[in-house]
C-alpha cells in the first residue's frame, strides 16, 4: 500500500477524534441511565407505552439492571396536556390521530384553550358549542383571505393582511378600493386601501393598509348586488344596538337596526331602528339606486321590505320609510324562508323544506331565465314563482341572467341564459328550467357572475380545486382565455381550507375558514333515483343511451375535423374532454397528456 505524504497522520488523527467522541457519548449515556433508569432503546424521543395497572414487566432488562420501561400514561394528565399545548395546530391534530390515548388528550378543551390564547391573545369569549375552545382555535388558525388578479404578467395567489382582533372569517365583500370582513362574534372589519396597482399592471395587497373596526354587533351586511364593484358606493349593515326604553329608566333593550356606511371612508350616513319585537338575520338588496329595496329576513322566516333612495342618503335630513311584509310571505304564510339571494333585478328564496321561489322584476331577465314571457306580469313583479325541482335545495348562486342550485344529494342544477356557456352543460343553448350538470357533484361553493360560473370542489385526496365555465375574456377563467362551455379546471392554487369564493372584474377572491360545527352534509342518492349516472366502479361507464353517445362522438369528430390548424384541434380536443362525462382525475390526465404531446410536437416548417 502506498501512502501519500501527510495522508496517514491525518487519517489517524481523525480516527482518534472519532474514538474520543464515541467514548464521551458512551459515558454520558451511562450517566443518563444511572440517574434516570432509562433503557437503551428509550433514549431520546422514544418512550415505550405500557398499562400502568399491570405493573413493571419482568424480563431480561430488569435482570441486567437497566430499569423498567416508562409509560407516557404514568405522567399526570395535566403535565401531558401542558406539554402538548406547545405544539402547532397542524402537529396537534396529527398527534391526535396516532392512537386513542393521544386522541383523547389532544381533544381536551384545556389544550385548545392554551392554543386559542396563543393564536388570539385578545380573545376572551370562546363562544358556545360542544367544544368551544377547539372550534375557536381552528377558526383562528384557518382564517385567511386570498386573491388572484386576472390581469398582469404574473398569476400568483396572494394572502391578505389578517386583522388580529378577528375571530375567524364568516363573510367578506370586496368593494372598489377596500374589503369588508365579518367574523364569528359580529365584528365587521374594514381593510382600508387594501389593493393597489403594481408596476407590472397587476393588483397586489398594500403592506401599509389599515385594519379598522367598522362596527360591532353586526349580523349581516350587503351592498350593490352587481358584480362590478364600482357600483358599491354604500354598505348596509344589519346590527343589534342597545336602545334606552322609557325616558328616565335605567334599563335598555336590544333592537335591530340597519346602518348605512360610505365604502370609501367608512362614515355612517344613515340609520334606521326597528321595534324590539322584530329580530332579523339576513339582509339583501335589489333594484336601482333610486328605488333600492332592502329585503330583511326575520328569525321566524318572514320577509319584510322597505325602499330607500341612495342618491339622497348623503343629505343631512330625516326620512320616513315604511316596513311592509313581502308578497312571498303574505301569499304563502305557511312557508318559512331559510335564506335568500338577489341581484339587480331578481330575488331567490329557499324555504326550510328546500323549495325555491323566484321574483323577477324585468322582462329581459325573465326571458333569459325561463325562455318565455308568458307568465310575466309587469304590474305584479313581486309574485313568487315556484321552481320544479326533484329534491331539497341546500344553497344557490344567482347571477345576472342565470342561476345555480345545489340539492341535498350534491347535484348541481343550472338554469338561464347560456350564450357564453356559463351553465356548463357542454353547449350554448339556453335552459328555461333547472338542468343537471351530471359530471359535477358535491361542491363546496358555487358562484355565478355576469357571464361565467365558478365551482369550488374537493377531490378524493381532500385537495381543493376550482372549476369554471363561460366567458374567459379578461382572464376570468385562468388558463382558458377563450372560455369553455363546460366546467374545466382553472389554473388557480386553491388553499386547503377554502370555503367561499367571489369574483369581480379584476380579481378572484377565496375565503378560508374551517368550522368544526358547520359543514354541508350531502345524502347518498338512492339507487331507485339514479338516472343516467355513471357507474362508480368504472368511472365513466357505459351510458344508458349508447346510440346517443355514438352520435355525440361523431359530432365531436366533425368539430375537430373542421379546425384548420393543429393548435385549434388541440384546443377543441381539450374542450371536448371537458364536455364528456368523465371523472375529474380522468379529465386532468387527458389534459396533461395533450399538453405534453403539444410540447413534444415539432414546430411546423416555415413556408
pLDDT in tens, 341-392: 998 899 999 999 999 999 998 899 989 898 888 878 888 888 888 888 889 9
Distance CA 101, CA 82 (A): 15
* Res. 589 pLDDT band, cuts 50 70 90: confident
**In the beta sheet, which residues pair with residue 235?**
261
The dihedral of CA 38, 42, 47, 53: what is its sign? negative
pLDDT for 603: 57
Distance CA 430, CA 83 (A): 61
What's the Cα-to-Cα distance from 37 to each of 31, 33, 190, rounded to whole Å?
10, 5, 59
Mean pLDDT computed over 515-543? 58
| Domain 73-121+131-142 CATH assignment equals 1.10.10.10 | no
User: Buried b / exposed e across 299-331, counting CB within 10 Å, b at 16+?
Assistant: eebbbbbbebebeebeeeeeeeeeeeebbbbee
**In the beta sheet, which residues pair with residue 460?**
none
pTM listed for this prediction? 0.75
User: Buried b / exposed e across 531-563, counting CB within 10 Å, b at 16+?
Assistant: eebbeeeeeeeebeeeeeeeebeeebeeeeeee
Distance CA 83, CA 75 (A): 11
The residue to which cell 332579523 is assigned:
280
Average pLDDT of the chain, as a whole number: 80
pLDDT for 397: 94
Using alpha carbons only, give the angle 342, 435, 554 rounded to the nearest 5 degrees: 140
pLDDT tens-digit profile of 250-307? 567 889 999 999 988 888 988 889 988 999 999 999 988 888 999 999 999 999 999 9
What is 529-584 written as a DSSP string?
G--S---TTTSS---S-HHHHHHHHHHHHHHHHH--SHHHHHHHHHHHHHHS---H
pLDDT over threshold 70, residue 68? no
pLDDT tens-digit profile of 308-337? 888 888 777 666 778 899 999 988 888 899
pLDDT tens-digit profile of 415-455? 999 999 999 998 899 999 999 998 888 999 999 998 999 99
pLDDT for 196: 54
| Percentage of the chain exceeding pLDDT 70 | 77
Amino acid at each position: 500500500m502506498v501512502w501519500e505524504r501527510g495522508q496517514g497522520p491525518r487519517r489517524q488523527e481523525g480516527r482518534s477524534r472519532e474514538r474520543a467522541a464515541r467514548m464521551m457519548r458512551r459515558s454520558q449515556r451511562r450517566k443518563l441511565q444511572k440517574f434516570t433508569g432509562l433503557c437503551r432503546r428509550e433514549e431520546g424521543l422514544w418512550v415505550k407505552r405500557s398499562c400502568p395497572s399491570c405493573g413493571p414487566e419482568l424480563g431480561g432488562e430488569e435482570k441486567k439492571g437497566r430499569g423498567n420501561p416508562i409509560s407516557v400514561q404514568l405522567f399526570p394528565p395535566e403535565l401531558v396536556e401542558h406539554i402538548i399545548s406547545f405544539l402547532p395546530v397542524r402537529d396537534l391534530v396529527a398527534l391526535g390521530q396516532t392512537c386513542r390515548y393521544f386522541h383523547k388528550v389532544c381533544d381536551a378543551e384545556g389544550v385548545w384553550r392554551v392554543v386559542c390564547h396563543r393564536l388570539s391573545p385578545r380573545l376572551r369569549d370562546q363562544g358556545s358549542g360542544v367544544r368551544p375552545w377547539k372550534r375557536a382555535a381552528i377558526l383562528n388558525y384557518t382564517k385567511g383571505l386570498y386573491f388572484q388578479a386576472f390581469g398582469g404578467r404574473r398569476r400568483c395567489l396572494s394572502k391578505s393582511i389578517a386583522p388580529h382582533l378577528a375571530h375567524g372569517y364568516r363573510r367578506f365583500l370586496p368593494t372598489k378600493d377596500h374589503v369588508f370582513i365579518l367574523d364569528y362574534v359580529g365584528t365587521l372589519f374594514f381593510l382600508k386601501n387594501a389593493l393597489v396597482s403594481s408596476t407590472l399592471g397587476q393588483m397586489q395587497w398594500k403592506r401599509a393598509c389599515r385594519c379598522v373596526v367598522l362596527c360591532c354587533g353586526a349580523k349581516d351586511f350587503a351592498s350593490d348586488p352587481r358584480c362590478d364593484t364600482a357600483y358599491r358606493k354604500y354598505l348596509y349593515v344589519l346590527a343589534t344596538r342597545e336602545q334606552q326604553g322609557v325616558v328616565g329608566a335605567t334599563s335598555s333593550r336590544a333592537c335591530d337596526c340597519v346602518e348605512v356606511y360610505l365604502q370609501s371612508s367608512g362614515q355612517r350616513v344613515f340609520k334606521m331602528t326597528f321595534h324590539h319585537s322584530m329580530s332579523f338575520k339576513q339582509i339583501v338588496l335589489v333594484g336601482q339606486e333610486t328605488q333600492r329595496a332592502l329585503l330583511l329576513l326575520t328569525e321566524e322566516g318572514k320577509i319584510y321590505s322597505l325602499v330607500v333612495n341612495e342618491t339622497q342618503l348623503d343629505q343631512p335630513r330625516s326620512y320616513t320609510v315604511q316596513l311592509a311584509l313581502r308578497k312571498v310571505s303574505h301569499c304563502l304564510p305557511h312557508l318559512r324562508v331559510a335564506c335568500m339571494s338577489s341581484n339587480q333585478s331578481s330575488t331567490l328564496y329557499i324555504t326550510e323544506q328546500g323549495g325555491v321561489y323566484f321574483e323577477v322584476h324585468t322582462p329581459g331577465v325573465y326571458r333569459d331565465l325561463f325562455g318565455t314571457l308568458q307568465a310575466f306580469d309587469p304590474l305584479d313583479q313581486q309574485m313568487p314563482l315556484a321552481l320544479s325541482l326533484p329534491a331539497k335545495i341546500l344553497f344557490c348562486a344567482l347571477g345576472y341572467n342565470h342561476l345555480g342550485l345545489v340539492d341535498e344529494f350534491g347535484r348541481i342544477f343550472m338554469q338561464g341564459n347560456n350564450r357564453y356557456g356559463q351553465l356548463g352543460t357542454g353547449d350554448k343553448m339556453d335552459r328555461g328550467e333547472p338542468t343537471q350538470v351530471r359530471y359535477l357533484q358535491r361542491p363546496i361553493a358555487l358562484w355565478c357572475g355576469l357571464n361565467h360560473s365558478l365551482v369550488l370542489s374537493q377531490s378524493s385526496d381532500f385537495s381543493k380545486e376550482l372549476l369554471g365555465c363561460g366567458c374567459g375574456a379578461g382572464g376570468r377563467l385562468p388558463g382558458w382565455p377563450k372560455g369553455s362551455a363546460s366546467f374545466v379546471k382553472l389554473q388557480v392554487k386553491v388553499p386547503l381550507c377554502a370555503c367561499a369564493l367571489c369574483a369581480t372584474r379584476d380579481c378572484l377572491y377565496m375565503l378560508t375558514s374551517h368550522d368544526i360545527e358547520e359543514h354541508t352534509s350531502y345524502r347518498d342518492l338512492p339507487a331507485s333515483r339514479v338516472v343516467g349516472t355513471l357507474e362508480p366502479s368504472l368511472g365513466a361507464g357505459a351510458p344508458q343511451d349508447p346510440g346517443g353517445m355514438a352520435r355525440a362522438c361523431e359530432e365531436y369528430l366533425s368539430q375537430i375535423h373542421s379546425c384548420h390548424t393543429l393548435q385549434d384541434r388541440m384546443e377543441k380536443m381539450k374542450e371536448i374532454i371537458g364536455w364528456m362525462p368523465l371523472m375529474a382525475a380522468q379529465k386532468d390526465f387527458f389534459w396533461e397528456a395533450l399538453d405534453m404531446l403539444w410540447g413534444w410536437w415539432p414546430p411546423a416548417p416555415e413556408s
